[in-house]
Chain A
């Protein structure tokens, strides 16, 4: 298909332009970067264009096969090389040491015997228990509170907004909330200022273990609640009014209506919300990296995997942690595939 040589050529072009940026010539570097952008887009368009062109011109006999290949092969090839093979390779790496020698289950034994790593696993479990539960609850409550109220759209945007902010940006936003100054100095973090106003002693929220993990979790909840809220709000609006009306005529109060009518009506959306947030939480990396760097006993599996593999060059141990992450997500995959199969059967 000619992708390999093209990639290599683009790469060569890129390496050629690199030194300019280092010399601090901003405009020169920018022009060259956009040059790379243009070359990249043009190369991609050329490859795809050529593949489609030749597939279109093939003799009638083979046309069906060739056309099919042209449609699916590029995507499937990339997935095979970029996801399937690496995933298998990672499983293999998990059983090797940093020299690449086979060492059986030693990496997993290491994981479950090191206090530090056990802490990491425990932290991940705390994250996974708290984030989906709390963001879904708060998001659902908010969705119910603002349902049909004036200014619903604006109120929604306020809570949904953090969804558009990167985890890194959110980490910085919240570090300023948690900022600590010693007692007697003027506080510049809002949370400590509130504590001081109420006569308390300022705390180092991100350093004092084990509570620091909870303060990181708050950031994730802050981000994910908007997601839960928007989906659940949509689901609530889809619950037929007739049923709600009927339960009201039966004398149900607002709380009973909520539990007996609304919640069953939005069950499938609740499942989607909880599983989605659970997966996102299992893989949380950026928040921990930006706010504590995984220090002070706050590391989680995804962060520790990065630290082991890319900071310490312990590829085997990093891979083993990735495998653990995969095993944690596995039940959710199987559940989703089952749902998916059912849907295809219905079709």
Chain B
């Protein structure tokens, strides 16, 4: 799979750039070339980098300005209109009540939604991926391709009937389990595909050796396949976690929208809907929702990139 190859290459390159450089020593001609073309390239790169950074940086500065200054002047006048406060953060996090942002409650909801919605598909998919890779059965190839194709069915197609099942037969609409199950289902095709790619790459000799030693499928799975598949499990887990944390559509449809279950994104979207009145709250609120993905991003970039690339067809 070209995407996975690219993913592997990308993982190696930024992190092991020393190694790459050693493999490709730059000749004199190379360096001359670099100087000639780099003037425009550098200018272009700087322009793009600045345009891409300013929106986030500007909002970050805004989030620490006093409410009346947020409403009265732009963040770039920060030195003329100096002001620094944590009030916005304190207000959106701690103020309770129907009209306040209540973000601390929604933050908890996001955690309670995201943890099982990451673990459930991970467990189910690793079992299925093992079966598709190492248990021979009829139609295995056809079923696997079917699962792969499901990956690209827009989840919009499933929302209405799934909601009917949840509110009718199961009666769990608007609860955490409803959101967990929905996310699990929507995450499964990608997870199975991703983990299968990895698990099927495990050398056949290793699996055979375990069988010869008398291990059944469960023992093989738990003692050999799972430990070896750890990198793939980690990258899917991070990818799915971020996907769930950042999701709005599934949350809107299945969480019922209240402070009991709905995650941060849902509350943010609501606050944003009453934009004028929440102007001073939104920057702080946005950063509270962004902070977890950013931590994941910076600390686990390597796995995040891999999950993102292998999962590029999630839907």
Interface positions of A (Cβ within 8 A of B): 4, 7-8, 10-11, 14-15, 18, 21-22, 24, 26, 29-30, 33-34, 36-37, 40-41, 44, 48, 52, 55-56, 63, 67-68, 70-72, 74-76, 78-79, 81-87, 89-90, 93, 138, 141-142, 144-146, 148-149, 152-153, 155-159, 161-169, 171-177, 186-190, 193, 222, 225-227, 230-231, 233-235, 237-238, 241, 248, 254, 268-269, 271-273, 275-276, 279-280, 282-283, 285-286, 289-291, 293, 302, 305-306, 309-310, 315, 318-319, 321-323, 325-326, 329, 332-333, 336-337, 340-341, 343-344, 347
**B96 an interface residue at 8 Å Cβ cutoff?**
yes
Q: Which 4 A-B pairs have the closest CB atoms?
A: A234-B10, A82-B185, A166-B246, A86-B161
Q: Is the CB of A72 within 8 A of B131?
A: yes
B241 to chain A, nearest CB (A): 11
Given the interface contacts A168-B289, A174-B55, does A26 sit within 8 Å of B96 by beta carbon?
yes
Q: Is the CB of B273 within 8 A of A83?
A: no
**B228 an interface residue at 8 Å Cβ cutoff?**
no
Q: In the complex, A272 Cα to B313 Cα: how many Å?
A: 9
Which chain A residues border B297 with CB–CB below 8 Å?
161, 163-164
Q: Is the CB of A87 within 8 A of B272?
A: no
Given the interface contacts A156-B14, A341-B145, does A171 sit within 8 Å of B154 by beta carbon?
no
Q: Is the CB of A175 within 8 A of B275?
A: yes
Q: Is the CB of A315 within 8 A of B116?
A: no
Q: Is the CB of B248 within 8 A of A241?
A: no
Which chain B residues border A41 with CB–CB below 8 Å?
115-116, 119
Contact partner of B249 (CB less than 8 A), chosen from A87, A162, A286, is A286
Interface size class of B (residues with CB under 8 A): 35 or more
**B97 an interface residue at 8 Å Cβ cutoff?**
yes
Q: In the complex, A332 Cα to B148 Cα: how many Å?
A: 12
Given the interface contacts A11-B177, A272-B3, does A79 sit within 8 Å of B147 by beta carbon?
yes
Which chain A residues border B294 with CB–CB below 8 Å?
161, 164-165
Which chain A residues border B101 with CB–CB below 8 Å?
none
Q: In the complex, A319 Cα to B161 Cα: how many Å?
A: 10
Per-residue interface assignment for chain B, residues 16 to 46, with 1 indicating a CB less than 8 Å from any chain A CB and 0 otherwise: 0100110010100100011011100110110
Which chain A residues border B224 with CB–CB below 8 Å?
none
Contact partner of B9 (CB less than 8 A), chosen from A164, A234, A279, is A234
Contact partner of B293 (CB less than 8 A), chosen from A165, A290, A305, is A165
Which chain A residues border B286 with CB–CB below 8 Å?
169, 172-173
Q: In the complex, A22 Cα to B118 Cα: how many Å?
A: 27
Given the interface contacts A79-B147, A82-B158, A227-B308, does A336 sit within 8 Å of B152 by beta carbon?
yes
Per-residue interface assignment for chain B, residues 216 to 251, with 1 indicating a CB less than 8 Å from any chain A CB and 0 otherwise: 111001000000000000000000001001111100
List 25 A-B pairs, Cβ < 8 Å: A10-B172, A26-B105, A29-B105, A71-B217, A74-B124, A75-B125, A78-B181, A85-B161, A141-B44, A145-B48, A152-B17, A159-B52, A169-B289, A176-B282, A189-B74, A233-B13, A234-B13, A248-B29, A269-B2, A279-B315, A309-B159, A318-B160, A325-B154, A333-B152, A340-B145
Given the interface contacts A235-B9, A248-B33, does A11 sit within 8 Å of B172 by beta carbon?
yes
Which chain B residues border A22 with CB–CB below 8 Å?
258-260
Q: Is the CB of B97 within 8 A of A24?
A: yes
**B127 an interface residue at 8 Å Cβ cutoff?**
yes
Which chain B residues border A71 with CB–CB below 8 Å?
127-128, 130-131, 135, 217, 221
Q: Is the CB of A167 within 8 A of B248?
A: yes
Q: In the complex, A248 Cα to B33 Cα: how many Å?
A: 10
Contact partner of B6 (CB less than 8 A), chosen from A141, A163, A231, is A231
Per-residue interface assignment for chain B, residues 134 to 152, with 1 indicating a CB less than 8 Å from any chain A CB and 0 otherwise: 0101000101010111101
Task: List CB contacts (< 8 Å) of B149-170 with chain A.
Answer: 149-150, 152-162, 164-165, 170
**B207 an interface residue at 8 Å Cβ cutoff?**
no
**B202 an interface residue at 8 Å Cβ cutoff?**
no
Per-residue interface assignment for chain B, residues 34 to 74, with 1 indicating a CB less than 8 Å from any chain A CB and 0 otherwise: 10111001101100110011111011001000000011111
Interface positions of B (Cβ within 8 A of A): 1-3, 5-7, 9-11, 13-15, 17, 20-21, 24, 26, 29, 33-34, 36-38, 41-42, 44-45, 48-49, 52-56, 58-59, 62, 70-74, 76, 96-97, 104-105, 108-109, 111-112, 115-116, 119-120, 123-125, 127-128, 130-132, 135, 137, 141, 143, 145, 147-150, 152-162, 164-165, 170-172, 175-178, 180-182, 184-186, 188-189, 192, 200, 216-218, 221, 242, 245-249, 252-253, 258-260, 265, 268-269, 272-273, 275, 282-283, 285-286, 289-290, 293-294, 296-298, 301, 304-305, 308-309, 312-313, 315
Contact partner of B45 (CB less than 8 A), chosen from A146, A161, A305, is A146
Which chain B residues border A67 with CB–CB below 8 Å?
135, 216-218
Other A-B contacts than A164-B297, A340-B145, 7 sampled, CB-CB below 8 A, are A30-B105, A275-B313, A289-B248, A302-B249, A310-B252, A329-B152, A341-B145
Given the interface contacts A164-B293, A169-B290, A172-B282, does A306 sit within 8 Å of B128 by beta carbon?
no
Contact partner of A144 (CB less than 8 A), chosen from B41, B148, B221, is B41
